[in-house]
Every structure is written in C-alpha cells, then in structure tokens.
Amino acid sequence: MNRTAGARTGHVTTTVSWLEMLERPKGAPLQPPGSGIEVVRALEPTVSFYRYLYDTVGADWLWTRRRLLDDADLAAIIRDPGVDIRVLWCHGVPAGFAELDVREAPDVELAYFGLIPEFIGRGLGRYLLDWAVRHAWTRGAGRLWVHTCDLDHPRAVATYEAAGFELYDRDECEETVMEGMALPAHAAERPVRWQGAPGESAGDA
C-alpha cells in the first residue's frame, strides 16, 4: 500500500548537520529516570506499529522520508536483521524509539531517535540516547554517526554533542514536505516550494 499516492509534495530548505563518535563513551551508563522503564528490541515489527512510532515521534519535526515509502519497501528495511529498532517503554506504554542501522558496520548510523511528545521533559530522551549509543558499540561500531537538521528539535545538535558526538559537516539541503503536514513551529515562516505550483508558499496550501 502507498499512503502517499496522489498526495501533493513540496520542498523546504534546511541546514543539515552531520555528527560522529569515534570511540565508545567513557563513564558509567545513565540509569533509567524512574521505575517501569525498559528498552526492548522490536523484532520484525509490523509496518503499522512502526508507522505509529515514526509518525507520532516525527510529527512535530517534519519526518517524511519513511512516510513516502510504500508498505513493502518499508517492511524490507525495518525487518532487515541489520536494522536494530529499540522501543522505549514506560509502564507498558511506548514512549519513543531509537533505530540503529548496522548494515555497513563498522560504520553504524543512528538513523532515527526521538520521543512521543507526551514523554518529552522527563529525562527519558537523554537516557534512551545514552542507551542507544552504548548499544551501538556492542553491535560492532567503529564509528557511530547521525545527522539532524534545523527542522528538528532546536536542541538536537546540542543533545547529540552532550552525548559525545562531534560535528564534522554542515550543509544546506532540501527536505520533502507532504501536503497537510505543518512545518515545525520554529520554522513556520519558511517558504515551501510545492511541486506543480511554482512560487506557492506553505501558507497557500
């Protein structure tokens, strides 16, 4: 199934930052910031469950790339043994996820990381990121890398740097916007170039 068939898309300019970590973190791992918290691997996750996580975590930050994939293409990625999806559970409720791509180890990518909005501000993101970073080294990482952009949470780069990543590149890129998706609040005035409608802005949608 292709959920985006016939949907109008556009593009918005964004600044992308690439960060890397070349050695495993030192010091003791962070402890869960409360009771009832666990990180569990999603083995061969259903497409519907993954879409729930991806769409909910990324709704405020214009995550669109996996939305643009049809079910078959998405399933092939998330069920690949080299794609390690870890779900953060809080008292039996999914609170966020981290996705490690180890298919090109020893280069390992932290492909996705984030929390469901209701769980932001409880210290869970810092804990999950620390857990995922340390787990990457157990999966054979010689280099762990991540990229983020200025459509993401405004503190994304600082959060990754606090976890031990170092910035190594930055560039302007184009990100796809799907009709009906709002730009993040801090980028709400940024113009969107809709396909088939040259010069049309996000406010014209």
Q: What is the pLDDT of residues 177-196, one digit of tens each?
A: 999 889 999 999 999 999 86
The total number of structural domains in the chain stands at 1
pTM above 0.85, yes or no: yes
Do the domain assignments include residue 200?
no
Flag whether 189 is in a domain.
no
44: region left, alpha or beta (phi > 0 left; psi from -120 to 50 alpha): left
Q: What is the CATH number of the domain that holds 155?
A: 3.40.630.30
The residues with which 45 forms a beta bridge, in sequence order, are none
Cα–Cα distance, 158 to 84 (Å, whole number):
24
What is the domain range of residue 115? 14-175
pLDDT tops 60 at residue 202 = no
In a domain, 100, yes or no: yes
Asked if the structure places residue 194 within a domain, the reply is no
- pLDDT tens for each residue of 34-88: 999 999 999 999 999 999 999 999 999 999 999 999 999 999 999 999 999 999 9
Strands 83-90 and 193-194: unpaired
Give the span between the Cα atoms of 22 and 145, in whole angstroms: 9
Q: What is the C-alpha separation between 41 and 98, in angstroms, rounded?
A: 10
Would 50 be classed as within a structural domain?
yes
| Residue 56: strand pairing partners | none
